[in-house]
Amino acid sequence: MQWTAKDSVAVVTGASSGIGKCLTQLLADRGCHVMAIARRADRIREWSASLGCTDFGGVTPLAGDITDHDVRSTVRSMIETHHNGRLDLLVNNAGIGGIGKFADATPERLRQIMEVNFFAPVELTRILLPSLHRGSSAVICNVSSVLGHRAVPDKSEYCASKFAIHGWSDSLRAELAADGIQVTLVSPSTTKSEFFDSLIETDPKTTSRSMGHWSPQRVAAKAYHAICNRRSEVILSLGGKALVYTDRLAPSLMNKILAQRPAKTDDSSNSVDQ
Ligand SMILES: NC(=O)c1ccc[n+]([C@@H]2O[C@H](COP(=O)([O-])OP(=O)(O)OC[C@H]3O[C@@H](n4cnc5c(N)ncnc54)[C@H](OP(=O)(O)O)[C@@H]3O)[C@@H](O)[C@H]2O)c1
């Protein structure tokens, strides 16, 4: 059975920019009622006002930090109040990163990245599970990364957070299968968004190079397709697939390639994908 946006109720985190914004717009355009969460909700308000889709779907902005328990409880209360406690789609998309060697980082970088990329989506899912059970062919879409399949140097905290969400998604999918709730893991490669403007504890001179990048619109369209088809897992981009499948076939070769990358210098740093 397919998932359909029309008249569905969705929660999307990280909807003020990038992939989350594009996916929210796509869902609302197709008649979905989206509760869109980010700290900068004023931004969501600005662009959603011009969507003009209130007769069909619509966007309800919610300002808040998803690492805050009270914010997550507010999401649940709003679903109870406005949608009879029913939720058809939860998109755990909000995320942050940081670049630099593990040895040079403070424990705070790890803590912050794990809080936003792992603990917050897990706890948001926990609190919304009863509503998802009331949804129709409900889907939990976790936006991970190709780096949740193959870790690379200088992004150890980010990779750890994406591996964690990957492992948890696989486990949860099996647990919820009998209840008809699908868990869809979407793993983009480098995407041209504001992600690289908000890296934490990262040398400002660091640039992130990659083998090409996708637009957030293209990533959102693929994520939407995966949700509608209730896919278990999608790895986006040829570069991303090359990284992941080469690693699966020849992990020692990939270890050698990644270990040979040049040491960080003043004017260069990174990187393969995000
Ligand atoms: N860009 C890439 O190359 C790339 C590649 C693979 C995977 N991804 C993943 O894709 C997802 C979306 O990233 P993006 O590329 O679209 O980056 P982005 O444009 O920086 O968007 C990140 C979103 O997360 C929100 N956010 C961050 N911390 C939050 C918090 N504590 N509470 C609530 N919202 C928070 C931000 O909103 P506010 O700042 O307004 O709160 C923003 O809307 C992330 O999970 C990222 O790891 C990105």
**From the CB of residue 210, how many other CB atoms can be counted at a distance below 10 Å?**
16
Q: Give the Å distance between the CA of 19 and the centre of ligand 1.
A: 7
Give the domain ranges of the chain.
Answer: 9-259
Whether the CB of 115 sits within 6 Å of ligand 1: no
Q: Estimate the share of the chain in helix, then strand, then coil, as percent rounded to the nearest 5.
A: 45, 15, 40
Query: Is the confidence at residue 130, as pLDDT, over 50?
Result: yes
Distance 14 CA to ligand 1 centre (A): 5
Ligand 1 mutation pick, 11, 24, 92, 96, max ligand atoms within 8 A of CB? 96
pLDDT of residue 268: 35
65 Cβ inside 6 Å of ligand 1: yes
Task: Verify whether ligand 1 is closer than 6 Å to residue 148 (CB atom).
Answer: no
Topology of domain 9-259, CATH: Rossmann fold (3.40.50)
User: 108 alpha carbon to ligand 1 midpoint, in Å?
Assistant: 18
How many other CB atoms sit within 10 Å of the CB of residue 127?
14
Q: Is the CB of 159 within 6 Å of ligand 1? A: no
The rounded percent of the chain whose pLDDT value lies above 90 is 85
Q: Whose CA is nearest to atom 16 of ligand 1?
A: 18
Residue closest to 27 by CA, chosen among 62, 55, 61, 58: 58
Judge whether residue 169 has pLDDT over 80: yes
Q: Does 271 have pLDDT greater than 60? A: no
Q: Name 205's bridge partners.
A: none
pLDDT, position 263: 52
Given this model, what pLDDT does residue 1 score?
82
C-alpha of residue 94 to centroid of ligand 1, in Å: 4
Mapped onto helix, strand or coil, the DSSP state of residue 9 is: strand
CB-side neighbour CA atoms (13 Å) of 12: 32
The atom number, within ligand 1, closest to the CA of 40 reads 40
**pLDDT higher at 2 or 56:** 2
Residue located nearest, by CA, to atom 3 of ligand 1: 190
| Pocket flag, ligand 1, residue 190 (CB < 6 Å) | yes
pLDDT for 203 equals 84
The pLDDT assigned to 151 comes to 96
Give distance in angstroms: CA of 24 to centre of ligand 1.
13
Q: What is the pLDDT of residue 52?
A: 61
Residue 247: CB atoms within 10 Å: 19
Going by pLDDT thresholds of 50, 70 and 90, the confidence category of residue 205 is confident
Rounded to an integer, what distance in angstroms lies between the CA atom of residue 119 and that of residue 121?
6
Q: Which numbered atom of ligand 1 lies nearest the CA of 158?
A: 47
| Residue 270 clears pLDDT 60, i.e. is over it | no
| DSSP state at residue 117 | I
In the residue annotation, 158 being an active-site residue is answered as: yes
Q: What is the pLDDT of residues 136-146, one digit of tens each?
A: 999 999 999 99
- Closest listed residue to residue 187, CA positions, set 212, 207, 210, 214: 214
As a whole number of angstroms, the distance between CA 274 and CA 262 comes to 18
The active-site residue out of 3, 158, 163, 195 is 158
Q: Residue 48, preceding bond cis, omega within 30 degrees?
A: no
Which token pair is 18? 């990038």
